[in-house]
Amino acid sequence: MSIELAYKPDAAEAARRMEAWWNRAILDRPCIQVTAPRPDPVPIPQKDHSSLRERWLDAEYAVDCAQAYIANTYYGGEILPAYFPNLGPELLTATLGAELEFTRETSWSIPILHNWDDVPSLRVDPENLYTRTLLEMTRHEFLDPSRRRQRTTFADGTRVTVDFDRDTWDVEPPL
């Protein structure tokens, strides 16, 4: 398997160790995950928002910040750079119709379920602001009925396509 990642030059080696681990084997040492700040960090993007809500819902800004965080982080052992689209811990509840209250560091939902009998009527609303924002931050598609071919598209336009049957992946534009 050939894997090249800008911020994880030993990604192929890490993948081999993780595959061995999943098969209950060890190649040369146990798997570990270590992160640390890189020297000479790139600046974290700054942008003026009129409210905390606007900042949290700014998908482009969230992706720009995630890219800076990834660039500023050393990934040792078997950990890989990752992007976590985030509107806070209550995202599922928000996609079901709850409103979110935002602080600088987190968010929480205003309760919408007041009677357990109402649970069967809860549905994720694809037109909901929070659902649309999450989908803007990242879009994940299953490309075949077996779900073995998948594509994720990030807000900056980067597309990652994987085929688990052929053990291939593609990143567009190339890293």
Residue 171 three-state SS: strand
Q: Are residues 6 and 59 in the same domain?
A: yes
> Rounded to the nearest 5°, which phi and psi values hold at 109?
-100, 150
Of 26, 54, 84, the last residue of a domain is: 84
Residues 28 and 93 in one domain: no
SS3 105: coil
| Residues 72, 110 within the same domain | no
The Cβ of residue 81 has, within 10 Å, a number of other Cβ atoms equal to 17
pLDDT at residue 141 above 70? Answer: yes
Count up the domains in the chain and report the number.
Answer: 2
Q: Which pLDDT does position 13 carry in this prediction?
A: 93
Query: What are the beta bridge partners of residue 36?
Result: 74
Both 42 and 115 in one domain: the answer is no
The neighbouring-strand residues paired with 101 are 108
Q: Per the confidence metrics, is the pTM higher than 0.85? A: no
Q: Note whether 133 and 59 are within 8 A (CB).
A: yes
Average pLDDT along the chain: 89
**Same domain for 71 and 107?**
no
Residue 86 has pLDDT above 70, yes or no: yes
Model confidence at 82: pLDDT above 90: no
3-state secondary structure of 132: helix
Averaged over 122-126, what is the pLDDT?
A: 89
Mean local confidence (pLDDT), 89-97: 91
